[in-house]
Amino acid sequence: MTNNHPYLDEKVMIIKIVTEMTGLSERQVRYYETRELIFPKRNSSGTRMYSFSDIERLMDIARKIEDGVGTREMRKDFS
């Protein structure tokens, strides 16, 4: 995601913080990764790291899921 605030794209949060901020479960967040809707970075120990932009995208994904949009459709929208 490109924006005027590059710090929003810095991958600095672990999944526990992401789940607290979004209300999603770790399982849901990982599922969206497998569906290629989000792309966390892995640190040297293999921990997934997320950005504020990832959180915005996850919230958008959650809203679309509630509206009945499938992950396949979303992947087309996000490309």
Domain ranges of the chain: 6-78
Note the pLDDT of residue 79: 64
pTM above 0.95, yes or no: no
Longest dimension (CA), the chain: 37
- Cα 23 to Cα 58: distance, rounded to the nearest angstrom: 10
What's the pLDDT tens digit per position in 15-38?
A: 999 999 999 999 999 999 999 999
Of 1-10, 16-25, 39-48, which gets the smallest average pLDDT? 1-10
Closest CA to 33 of 51, 54, 5, 19: 54
Q: Which CATH architecture has domain 6-78?
A: Orthogonal Bundle (1.10)
